[in-house]
A and B are shown apart, each in its own frame.
Chain A
Amino acid sequence: QKEVEQDPGPLSVPEGAIVSLNCTYSNSAFQYFMWYRQYSRKGPELLMYTYSSGNKEDGRFTAQVDKSSKYISLFIRDSQPSDSATYLCAMSESGGGADGLTFGKGTHLIIQP
């Protein structure tokens, strides 16, 4: 079983809709959870960072972590065409980062104008 599972999509929604992106994982030692956004032919850029369980909000983006279910989510409110990209969840065991990040395969999101 892969460590991090993420539906690759594509997920297509109309502009203004609420988008829900999810990942599940199997390694209970993961404590640090991130969402990255990657535009075509660009490097990933960090969107949200969460430690342990709970919610975190930043503008139109909300990240949720449920460690008991090994499930993380990213919600995008009032979605815009510029949000069209691939969204990658990532996680790690230690805050030191030395072991690198374990990524999901990414969900390709399309926001239709």
Chain B
Amino acid sequence: DTAVSQTPKYLVTQMGNDKSIKCEQNLGHDTMYWYKQDSKKFLKIMFSYNNKELIINETVPNRFSPKSPDKAHLNLHINSLELGDSAVYFCASSQDAGASMAMADTQYFGPGTRLTVL
């Protein structure tokens, strides 16, 4: 009954490869996010997405692309992986703002995917 789940938990790959990380939420939330946490534990937003709008952090390279097959899933595709992409990637979700302002920012995080690029 995990609220936000991610697969895989660990991912080790070579530079130049293309990989995907999957995220699923069973909370009925409308908005999903991807965050990157670097080696210094700094957590930074990469994307937010609902069925209406994709907001991209301008610092994210276009090698990263979110894909949402449906409201409960937001996958992260990464092309041409680089050493600097090594980090922990967290998926999160929140309820739509229309329901409650207080709920809208209550983001629930997945357990993270630890990506290591060799």
Binds B, one of A16-24, A63-71, A94-102: A94-102
Does A92 touch B at the CB level, under 8 Å?
yes
Q: Which residues of chain B from 60 to 112 have a CB within 8 Å of any chain A CB?
A: 90, 92, 94, 97, 101-102, 104-112
A60 contacts partner chain B, Cβ-Cβ < 8 Å: no
Interchain pairs with CB closer than 8 A, number: 76
Q: Is the CB of A101 within 8 A of B45?
A: yes
- B43 to chain A: which residues have CB within 8 Å? 44, 88, 103, 106
CA distance A96 to B29 in the complex (A): 12
Main SS at interface, chain A: loop
Inter-chain contact B97/A98, CB cutoff 8 Å = yes
Given contacts A96-B97, A100-B55, contact A49 B45 (CB under 8 A): no
Q: Mark interface residues in A9-38 (1 if CB within 8 Å of B CB, else 0).
A: 000000000000000000000001010100
CA distance A78 to B42 in the complex (A): 28
With most chain B CB atoms within 10 A of its CB, the pick from A42, A96, A100 is A100
Q: Are B108 and A103 in contact, with the CB atoms below 8 A?
A: no
User: A105 CA to B107 CA in the complex, in Å?
Assistant: 17
B-side interface residues, number (CB < 8 Å): 31
Do residues A97 and B31 form an inter-chain contact, with CB atoms below 8 A? yes
Residues of B within 8 A of A59 (CB): none
The answer on a CB contact under 8 Å between A105 and B41 is yes
Is the Cβ of B109 less than 8 Å from the Cβ of A95?
no
- With CB as the reference atom, state the residue of chain A lying closest to B91: A43
Bound state CA distance, A79 and B90, in angstroms? 28
Which of B33, B90, B104, B114 gathers most chain A CB within 10 Å? Answer: B104
9 A–B pairs (Cβ distance < 8 Å), ordered by A: A34-B106, A42-B111, A43-B110, A51-B101, A94-B97, A95-B104, A96-B97, A97-B105, A97-B107
